[in-house]
A and B are shown apart, each in its own frame.
Chain A
């Protein structure tokens, strides 16, 4: 028996799998019905304990090629059932073995629907995966006192710059906890990328002579990224910028908008998002616990995308500079490819800027 203890003192018992360690994290849920391994390796889940609403995960094993990071920082996996016998032609290992390798504990046999309802009603809660439930009150108090995601970007962001070579456009990528799929999309478009730590200054970025700058996704509270926001404020004046997820929030903060913590966030990939200009709706892959406050949008920005159901700001564009951002993941993985073309928009933006510069 292993347990998930929440900061409100509630306990969920199940059967452990993966690593046999105790961990703390923010308990969040995702509604995706496929893509467990992309989610688990997504650094936006750093320091979080991930609950899968799909009743069964692990059914097609784990494949290195589908990783979204090399050393995932997710703190735990909670599910209803793990497949006994995974099967897929690409699979290299099973989910429990993989979790063991990366030191992440999991619990199966939990009534995940009941847990999700609790998170929906109470909002995100902190939790601990443990073998010990003798002193749940103490655990709850400890959890309450803890800020589990503070400083997390420092953990997941690269410490040193590294290249992802290509032969066309020079793109600097600011790593707040980047998913490989963003790099894959840029590579697909033959970009020559340099990935810089989130601490990169405007000067450091501009020293790379980028044709465009991509602000990546990442975990935690965007308000911790005010230095990065200051950097963005400078560079957006001279180079096209595209922000995704955390990058979107940093872009918003850079231009004077506010962010807030959502009750239980958007995690999953059936969130319909409307592009205001065209009315087109796409299904998007999402993973965010914070959002940009729609009432705080400054004059320089315009809202380009909204979530159809709850009206969350899902996209922004600068009115004067070639800079835009989206809250969701156009790079999908896991999730639908409906908004993949935003990368093409970014490329167009870069090319137009280049042309304008050459003609100038």
Chain B
């Protein structure tokens, strides 16, 4: 059916901030959807609160609203725009939930607004566990025995009936938040209770566990004419029991016979047809490894993380097709954009193997509970493509950018057998490395199957790699073994490690022997039809298909998997760099390893290489493409870290030179620049021994900021207030050595700000200064920030601008850089310089209208700022005030302390803009789901040193009608100042008004807790914070944030004062 002509204006709801379970994949799907709708001539209105996205670019939709995703805010936009229809199925669970919520308010009926795509009742039928179960039963599709409960007792009774283990799945929560496997009554009590509270409808599904079954996913599409098809089948390496988002996944399916595959395919198609899905849909199935028995696990009636993966794995753009289906088109009339010759009604055939490995945040959170289960914990993922399963797996491992560059883990190597066994039985993020280690120790496949229930076929893949490893170690410099190893995905690095050689020696040997990768095309059809997709992966095979174009090309290095500290912001910058290069007439080539993002959509660049971001893999591409140079400024620390190696191999780094990049990153060199320029910075010392660190701290005076050198995103950075705390820190970070010294800085308590600058060597453009709301000490990625600055005088701003210019020129910056300052008593101190795009680029680009990554790219390619129409200095400030607020995923990560400090913990951000600071703040808080009742109860647990600061805040809470709860010390102090305070007993004191009991009983609406320096797990502060997270109570750990929140709340309420 041709597209509908009765609708003209379509609203698309995005997915909001990035959190675990809902990451960059929805930027990709949303962007594709908007572009597809515009391609068909519709006017698109986009709403999303996340500024760090491509989809919120004004070029993606006709109108972009960076507003909170709340019913209030969406209703306001609807009444302003009067869209004909809303497309809710491409913005993840958030977009879908918002559409459901809007429908409930009646506004859609009132204004005659249609929901496009899958109908609401279908969505409910898929999402409501009980309705879904009924549907499956009516279709004869098996589901595990289960019961929907609203009370804990119902769950306990059911479990007694069907036996443990039992899975708890809270209804309508994202990424399985709050769910888990329970082996006994105690676990069930704990998890189910929590799940009921997290579920917006206080509902959990209690289900018989089918752990150990094969987990298989189908990405399915259906149109309004009932055409239905499978885009991709994916099989999990890890059996059922681990969330698919936390599982290693292969595509195509690896262990299914045709009979099994077709049986599951039939089931998926029956489900999507019964649900009348119009668009994309994900079906998760469990197959008994010993029979034809299977169970339906769940159906996601929308585009999901898996569909982004499936799109990249097959080349088939699911979200784009889903958007076209939503406007009435059918699969057999939409052209397959990959081949250009066939139709979208086509089940892709793969002639390669795809491996996805999740990227977990445990490098940042070493104390977190690393156990994998039904609650997803990964922040991102990598995908790798190979011609053998082994190759795909090893490429994926080295794409992760973690300490392990291959299947060798020092930690696993050091583990004794009992620890090894435990790590195998109870899966954590690092199980793959322990599997490899077990094979090295001679464990048999049968042993490991017993311990892990992982399929023999998959186990043998790991075993095979270990055998090749052993063959390598017995045949040093043997060319035939080298060839074999390369064919199965071994990196030069790994081979050099085994051979005890330099990586370059291996590379030289390899190149001398003509052992080079070829690049194969991803074409959806296994070469059956001609296609010209510019989408390639490397393999050690025969025929190379990637031909160099005649045009001049530039390689842009992406930022790899989404992780804390390096999020979707860098993908945004990468995509913009590509756009600028194309405008300048270059072929823009992208290399990246992240399947979730816009940059790995092959239609974005002139050529896409889906490859690990390692020196070897990037060099190989350079060898083939011979680009004008490589741009490293936009892919975060990932690409910057590659610069030196590339330059050493004769690859031209465009923009700021490698030498100058190093001058910014190397502490000694940088200190010298600061001295030469007579700039101020907090005093700092470097030490390589325990004693040295303690001495340095004493010299500077506590508090001090300590961190290892050369780290990303403030990893392992802490503010230390005493020698005891420092000793503890050193105990936790024993790996200091002369090549990993510890940096000790004077901790300056002042206002912090972020500045991004673009320099062409003469002119230095400063698009804006972002003032942090929290004082120094909270990582810039975790602090709220406002643009333009609210408290800086013109004099301070001028100082910042002058300092920025001096630094940019002294560092010979060509392109973009970021500086962090502390402002104290009118003085400006430089904390650090990043010679690359920072995470504030998308935010500032959007509010200032200066496309920073594009301007910088043009500068890098030789266009001066002046010729681009920009002047030196701070760009004029707009009327609108914009606030950025961080968003956290603590509820998904047990045992991570929610106390904010110098180490970054947030996973995403939202933005709120308005004409006043207070309103912008309010929107930012709303966007971050910190919505508070008109009057409520606030719990204050405050560190002694903060007591003076809490008094004015407490008074303000009181005057807007909040009741204050506090433990003895704080309560007494506030009562002395004539405030009405409810006394609660401390964590371990018990009693009727216990602090934890009150939180559990939903008595508390907001927790302010600054007891941060006591980092012990069992400390009161930690327990209070954990309880707040578990109970879903908004939590603030910095008084500056509380101040900002009050400003927002006060703005909303009336000041009530007596006359005398």
- Is chain B found bound to chain A in the same assembly? yes
Contact residues of A with B, CB < 8 Å?
A: 29, 31-35, 37-38, 53-56, 59-60, 63, 66, 80-81, 83-90, 111-114, 116-117, 120, 268, 270, 272, 274, 279-281, 283, 308-309, 332-338
Contacting A334 at CB < 8 Å: which of B258, B445, B456? B258
From A31, A113, A274, residue with most partner B Cβ within 10 Å: A113
Contacting B528 at CB < 8 Å: which of A31, A80, A280? A31
Q: A34-B253, A35-B258, A80-B387 are in contact. Are A85 and B227 (CB under 8 A)?
A: no
Q: A87-B455, A283-B229 are in contact. Are A53 and B528 (CB under 8 A)?
A: yes
Cα-based distance from A163 to B583 in the complex (angstroms) = 72
Cα-based distance from A112 to B542 in the complex (angstroms) = 9
Contacting B530 at CB < 8 Å: which of A32, A120, A332? A120
> Are B258 and A281 within 8 A (Cβ)?
no
Cα-based distance from A85 to B457 in the complex (angstroms) = 6
> Are A113 and B388 within 8 A (Cβ)?
no
Chain B residues near A84 (CB-CB < 8 A): 460, 464
Min CB gap B251→A, angstroms: 9
Q: A34-B257, A85-B457, A85-B460 are in contact. Are A308 and B543 (CB under 8 A)?
A: no
Min CB gap A111→B, angstroms: 4
Interface residue? B503 (CB, 8 A): no
Cα-based distance from A253 to B252 in the complex (angstroms) = 39
Contacting B388 at CB < 8 Å: which of A35, A56, A85? A56
What 13 additional pairs, Cβ within 8 angstroms, besides A63-B257, A270-B347? A33-B253, A33-B349, A56-B389, A60-B457, A85-B456, A85-B457, A88-B255, A90-B257, A116-B527, A272-B347, A333-B262, A336-B266, A337-B266
> Are B256 and A55 within 8 A (Cβ)?
no
Cα-based distance from A33 to B457 in the complex (angstroms) = 17
Chain A residues near B341 (CB-CB < 8 A): 309
From A112, A279, A336, residue with most partner B Cβ within 10 Å: A336
Within 8 A of A (CB), among B343-359: 343, 345-353
Contacting B345 at CB < 8 Å: which of A54, A112, A272? A272
Q: Which 10 A-B pairs have the closest CB atoms?
A: A35-B258, A85-B460, A114-B543, A111-B542, A53-B526, A270-B347, A87-B456, A31-B349, A334-B258, A34-B258
- Could you write out 11 A-B pairs with CB less than 8 Å apart? A29-B528, A60-B255, A63-B257, A90-B257, A113-B351, A113-B520, A113-B545, A114-B542, A270-B525, A272-B345, A336-B266
From B225, B252, B526, residue with most partner A Cβ within 10 Å: B526
Chain B residues near A272 (CB-CB < 8 A): 229, 332, 343, 345-347
Interface residue? B291 (CB, 8 A): yes
Interface residue? B254 (CB, 8 A): yes
When C-beta atoms are compared, the residue in chain A nearest to B390 turns out to be A81
Min CB gap B255→A, angstroms: 6
When C-beta atoms are compared, the residue in chain A nearest to B520 turns out to be A113
> Are B255 and A59 within 8 A (Cβ)?
yes
Chain A residues near B227 (CB-CB < 8 A): 280-281
Chain B residues near A274 (CB-CB < 8 A): 332
Chain A residues near B455 (CB-CB < 8 A): 87
Cα-based distance from A111 to B542 in the complex (angstroms) = 6
Using an 8 Å CB-CB cutoff, how does the interface string of B971-1011 with A read, 1 for contact, 0 for none?
00000000000000000000000000000000000000000
Chain A residues near B289 (CB-CB < 8 A): 89
Chief secondary structure at chain B's binding surface: loop
Q: A35-B258, A114-B542, A337-B262 are in contact. Are A308 and B252 (CB under 8 A)?
A: no
Chain B residues near A270 (CB-CB < 8 A): 346-349, 525
When C-beta atoms are compared, the residue in chain B nearest to A273 turns out to be B345
> Are B342 and A309 within 8 A (Cβ)?
yes
Interface residue? B914 (CB, 8 A): no
Using an 8 Å CB-CB cutoff, how does the interface string of B503-540 with A read, 1 for contact, 0 for none?
00000000000000000100001111110000000000
> Are B351 and A89 within 8 A (Cβ)?
no
Contacting A336 at CB < 8 Å: which of B265, B290, B351? B265
> Are B457 and A32 within 8 A (Cβ)?
no
Cα-based distance from A55 to B488 in the complex (angstroms) = 13
> Are A53 and B527 within 8 A (Cβ)?
yes
Chain A residues near B710 (CB-CB < 8 A): none
Within 8 A of A (CB), among B244-285: 252-259, 261-262, 265-266, 269
When C-beta atoms are compared, the residue in chain B nearest to A283 turns out to be B347
Cα-based distance from A279 to B226 in the complex (angstroms) = 10
> Are A34 and B542 within 8 A (Cβ)?
no
Chief secondary structure at chain A's binding surface: loop
Cα-based distance from A308 to B339 in the complex (angstroms) = 14
Interface residue? B943 (CB, 8 A): no
Chain A residues near B254 (CB-CB < 8 A): 56, 59
When C-beta atoms are compared, the residue in chain A nearest to B266 turns out to be A337
Min CB gap A333→B, angstroms: 7
Contact residues of B with A, CB < 8 Å?
A: 225-227, 229, 233, 252-259, 261-262, 265-266, 269, 289-291, 331-332, 341-343, 345-353, 387-389, 445, 455-457, 459-460, 463-464, 520, 525-530, 541-543, 545
> Are B332 and A120 within 8 A (Cβ)?
no
Cα-based distance from A111 to B352 in the complex (angstroms) = 11
Chain B residues near A37 (CB-CB < 8 A): 258
When C-beta atoms are compared, the residue in chain A nearest to B488 turns out to be A81
Min CB gap B618→A, angstroms: 24
Chain B residues near A53 (CB-CB < 8 A): 349, 351, 526-528
Min CB gap A247→B, angstroms: 22
Min CB gap A182→B, angstroms: 16
Min CB gap A268→B, angstroms: 6
Contacting A281 at CB < 8 Å: which of B253, B345, B351? B345
Cα-based distance from A85 to B444 in the complex (angstroms) = 13
Cα-based distance from A283 to B229 in the complex (angstroms) = 8
When C-beta atoms are compared, the residue in chain B nearest to A81 turns out to be B388
When C-beta atoms are compared, the residue in chain A nearest to B527 turns out to be A116
Q: A31-B528, A80-B387, A111-B541 are in contact. Are A66 and B349 (CB under 8 A)?
A: no
Chain B residues near A54 (CB-CB < 8 A): 252, 349-351, 526
When C-beta atoms are compared, the residue in chain A nearest to B227 turns out to be A281
> Are A309 and B343 within 8 A (Cβ)?
yes
Chain B residues near A60 (CB-CB < 8 A): 255-257, 457
Min CB gap B454→A, angstroms: 11
Cα-based distance from A82 to B530 in the complex (angstroms) = 27
> Are B262 and A31 within 8 A (Cβ)?
no
> Are A117 and B543 within 8 A (Cβ)?
yes
> Are B528 and A120 within 8 A (Cβ)?
yes
Cα-based distance from A113 to B345 in the complex (angstroms) = 23
When C-beta atoms are compared, the residue in chain B nearest to A89 turns out to be B290
From B265, B289, B529, residue with most partner A Cβ within 10 Å: B265
Chain B residues near A31 (CB-CB < 8 A): 349, 351, 525-526, 528
Min CB gap B236→A, angstroms: 15
Chain A residues near B349 (CB-CB < 8 A): 31-33, 53-54, 268, 270
Min CB gap A119→B, angstroms: 9
Chain A residues near B269 (CB-CB < 8 A): 338
Chain A residues near B350 (CB-CB < 8 A): 33, 54
From B227, B388, B445, residue with most partner A Cβ within 10 Å: B227
> Are A34 and B261 within 8 A (Cβ)?
yes
Cα-based distance from A113 to B463 in the complex (angstroms) = 27
Chain B residues near A34 (CB-CB < 8 A): 252-253, 256-258, 261-262
Min CB gap B698→A, angstroms: 61
Chain B residues near A117 (CB-CB < 8 A): 527, 543
Cα-based distance from A37 to B331 in the complex (angstroms) = 31
Min CB gap A272→B, angstroms: 5
> Are B543 and A113 within 8 A (Cβ)?
yes
Cα-based distance from A323 to B679 in the complex (angstroms) = 92
Min CB gap A271→B, angstroms: 9
Min CB gap A277→B, angstroms: 14
Min CB gap A157→B, angstroms: 25
Min CB gap B447→A, angstroms: 15
From A66, A274, A308, A334, residue with most partner B Cβ within 10 Å: A308
Chain B residues near A55 (CB-CB < 8 A): 351-353, 387-388
Chain A residues near B527 (CB-CB < 8 A): 53, 113, 116-117, 120
> Are A113 and B541 within 8 A (Cβ)?
yes
Chain A residues near B266 (CB-CB < 8 A): 336-337
